Structure 1
Amino acid sequence: MKHPWMPASPCGDGCLTPGARSVAPPRRVLRVAAACGVVLSAFLVLPFLLVPGARNRLVRLVFRGVLRAFGVRLEVHGGDGFVAAEAGRGALVVNNHISWLDIVAINAVRPMRALAKREIADWPVLGRLVARGGSIFLDREALSTLPATIAELAAALRRGSLVNVTPEGTTWCGLASGRFTTATFQAAIDGGVPVRPIALRYRLADGRETTQPAFVGTESLIDSLRRVARLRGLVLEMRVCEEIAPGRAANRRELAALAESAVRTALCHKSLALPSLTSTGLEVARSGA
């Protein structure tokens, strides 16, 4: 049963920006089929990869393959230290939440565990991949389970895991956004690890921001997949912000405010277009900013 503290977004179909160009129907079918093929191939190979480094490389390639299958160009700005950080150093990675593509993009840059809503485990294809990545699932409708979930999250961070959390608690269209809730930041404090904010924005190839990839309202995942599959020239911009060191904030409320401010400031960069470097077939723009 839903409770008054359940995160909610007013975004819906009315938030979807018009004017996006579409690819032909046969190409849409090929995109979905290619994405499913990439993920299913990973299920066959992953059980045989016992070395963590090899598993992470394959997971990164799988998520990059999903982006490429859907025709999404990923541009990453900043965060060289984050991408190359040593294994075994835990961090809480937080981002604004717009689409299921957010999960795909972050893992295409750096594979990590996630704190995900329980419903994601039932999603076709993507749900199984997220679960196999070691996700910690949160039952948002049962507040009584929150303390145990935060304790599990803190333990994972303490053991050196990177864990991705979306503190807005639900998806927004991207032009509008929600406040960062504070509960999960307690896990970073308890675990003694830094917080790494990441800002995400979606635009078209001509530079216009678009809300078409947003997973909002009452639509199903299948509906959202179909809409993304028909988009032409979709670009996902990711700006990796400076990490917030342990001890910088006095409490979880202050820590959440620092992370939210970092993301909002990064999203104020209206033009992130930089020369691109190609990495494993994926367009990645790099900047030290």
Structure 2
Amino acid sequence: MNPWAVESLCTPACATDAAPRVSLGERVRRYASLTCALSRGVSVGGRLAEPGVLRTRARAVLRALGVRLEAGTEPLRVPGCAGGTGTLIVANHISWLDVISLLAVEPVALLAKREVGRWPVIGTLARRSGTRFIDRDRVRELPKVIESLASMLHAGRSVMVFPQATTWCSVSGGRFRRATFQAAVEAGAPVRPVTIDYYQNGTPSTVAGFLGDEDFGASLRRVVGAGGLAARVTAHRPLFGADRRTLAAEARAAVSVSELPAHA
């Protein structure tokens, strides 16, 4: 069985608006702003790898798309860990916007499927953040991926993973695969569960979903036209343990509960 081969039950039909679409004029303005934000990101060259610069550019992309970022004050990394290890940050997966939203809160290395590196908008941001890309068709790669993640965590570098392995239209969709949690066990690193969810004018929304066989352009057009869209990033209490099965179950339970109140 291929641990990377996960089929979501969600389709593009699940991604719907919970608020009126913005006007054509506003969509044109957003596309122009997005082009400007991406051009500025390219213009900084190698400095885009610097956490502060990457966070600024990711936030600029969200603003250009008309997406408001909501996040608590809790950092994604767990400070002061014994042995100076990094943090394995695990989040649910709904959209390509997840990556931009997380980088806008706290730039860390990501574990992502190989295709992400070729996507416009987020491919460059992901590569510059030190993303580790995986080929989900090569099951033999898994032990090396886990070893690499454990080494990064042991060296003090935090890593973000999406253990659902594919996108779903809701926070609770899909179980958490246990494999990547083994890296935290081997490195003696904490696990930080993070919830990512989306709202339109305070109402839960699936409009940001990137689902099934949908192409990136179609998803981008839907996001650009969304009214009152907000991305909410909620960090939960860190988890510690020596059993990946338990860590995966506890992380999924934590992620399924959003802690920030909705905004009107």
TM-score (norm 1): 0.83
Distance 1:69 1:177 in 2: 29
Shift of 1:251: 1.4
Q: Secondary structure at the match of 1:183?
A: coil
Contact 1:121 1:127 in 2 (8 A): yes
From the superposition, tell whether residues 126 and 36 of structure 1 become closer, same or farther in structure 2 (CA, over 3 Å).
farther
Between the two proteins, the alignment pairs up a number of residues equal to: 262
Pick closer, same or farther for the CA change 1:82–1:137 going to 2, 3 Å: closer
Task: Report whether the alignment pairs 1:255 with 2:247.
Answer: yes
Note the residue ranges of structure 1 that are not aligned, 5 or more in a row: 276-289
Cα separation, 2, equivalents of 1:48 and 1:93: 24
**Counterparts of 1:262 and 1:43, CA distance in 2:** 37
Q: For residue 27 of structure 2, what is the aligned residue in structure 1?
A: 28
Structure 1 residues 35-54: aligned runs within 5 Å: 35-48=34-47
Deviations 1:189-246 (A, max 9, x none): 11221110001111111x221101000021111111110000010112221101113x
TM-aligned CA deviation for residue 158 of structure 1 = 1.3
1:113 match = 109
Instruction: Tell me which residue corresponds to 1:145.
Output: 141
Listed one character per residue, the Cα deviations across residues 27-66 of structure 1 (whole Å, up to 9, x for unaligned) are 21321332232233222214257xx8xx211111111111
CA-atom RMSD, angstroms? 2.4
CA distance in 1, matches of 2:181, 2:46: 32
Residues 143, 67 of structure 1: CA spacing in aligned structure 2 closer, same or farther, 3 A cutoff? Answer: same
The one-letter code sitting in structure 2 at the alignment partner of 1:160 is: G
- Please identify runs of 4+ aligned residues in structure 1 that moved more than 2 A: 2-5, 16-20, 81-89
CA–CA separation in structure 1 for the residues paired with 2:66 and 2:191: 31
Partner residue, 1:210: 205
Contact kept in structure 2, 1:11 and 1:172, CA below 8 Å: yes
2: CA distance, partners of 1:192 / 1:113: 18
Identity between Structure 1 and Structure 2 (%)? 40
Q: CA deviation at 1:4?
A: 7.9
**SS in structure 1 at match of 2:153:** helix
Between stretches 19-28 and 225-234, larger displacement belongs to: 19-28
Taking a change above 3 Å as real, the CA distance of residues 69 and 118 of structure 1, as seen in their structure-2 partners, is same
1:119 Cα offset (Å) = 0.5
Question: Which blocks of at least 5 consecutive residues in structure 2 are unaligned?
Answer: none
Distance 1:193 1:176 in 2: 25
- Map Cα deviations across residues 163-200 of structure 1 (whole Å, 9 max, x no partner): 11000000000165110000000111112211100011
Of the candidates 93, 96, 108, which is equivalent to residue 97 of structure 1?
93
Q: Please give the alpha-carbon distance, in whole angstroms, between the structure 2 residues aligned to 1:199 and 1:5.
A: 21
**Hey, what does 1:75 align to over in structure 2?**
70
- 1:89 CA drift (Å): 4.6
Task: After TM superposition, list the pairs within 5 Å mapping 1:200-239 onto structure 2.
Answer: 200-205=196-201, 207-239=202-234
TM-score w.r.t. length of structure 2: 0.91
